[in-house]
Amino acid sequence: MPRVKSFDEEEVLTKAMNLFWKQGYSATSIQDLVTHLGINRASLYDTYGDKEQLFKKSFELYRRKSIEGISHLLNSHSNVKDGFYELYNKAINEALLDNDRKGCFAVNNTTELVPNDNNCLEILTSNRNAFENLFFEYLKKGQKKGQIKKSKDLKSLASLLFTIYNGMLVVSKINRNKKELNDSVKLALSLIE
């Protein structure tokens, strides 16, 4: 008779995500995961597969939650510039409250695993495309409302806003000055007219 799992799979996946996010993929051992997750090795392997599979599942959870959260945040603002300002401001506040200075899980994975891991490169490229498309669709709504000039190249603007967003998450690991970060955001958002 198969044993019934005595743990919440998504809760454990969230814990794994947070450990990988804090320590990085390479620095996180199976024993670290077993200890941190509070489940035995057999349960870990049976439920999630090996370390790489667990990492990919935890990163997919991060991506899904990030995209859902950012989509909800942006779409709760009818003014595009206000929506992006709120997104960047929230990211700054969260970064400054994070004593571990983890930054962005996706950015961390990019700097740690690319170019040596082609599977990770595909996932990260898909992540970038999803976010740029989300930004593009939101900018398009703003352009239809007359908030953005028709002459603006929205694809390039979406790409730039994504790049600036990720860059800000990296810089916030070393620059803890909220005013400077906000000033950079205001300058970047001056492109939305």
The whole-number pLDDT of residue 1 equals 43
- Is a pLDDT exceeding 80 seen at residue 179? yes
For residue 89 the two structure tokens come to 């401001």
- Is a pLDDT exceeding 80 seen at residue 5? no
**DSSP per-residue codes, 6-41:** -S-HHHHHHHHHHHHHHH-STT--HHHHHHHHT--H
Buried b / exposed e over 82-121, threshold 16 CB at 10 Å, is bbbbebbeebbeebeeeeeebbbbbbbbbeebeeeeeebe
- Is a pLDDT exceeding 60 seen at residue 155? yes
* DSSP helix/strand/coil, 99: coil
What fold, for 59-189?
Tetracycline Repressor; domain 2 (1.10.357)
The whole-number pLDDT of residue 119 equals 81
How many Å is the maximal CA-CA distance in the chain? 66
Question: How much is the pTM?
Answer: 0.90
- Is a pLDDT exceeding 90 seen at residue 4? no
For residue 186 the two structure tokens come to 């205001």
* Domain locations in the chain as residue ranges: 59-189
Tens-place pLDDT, residues 104-141: 999 999 989 888 878 888 889 999 999 999 999 999 99
Tens-place pLDDT, residues 30-88: 999 999 999 989 989 999 999 999 999 999 999 999 999 999 999 999 999 999 999 99
The whole-number pLDDT of residue 3 equals 55
What is the residue whose two structure tokens read 């051992």? 29
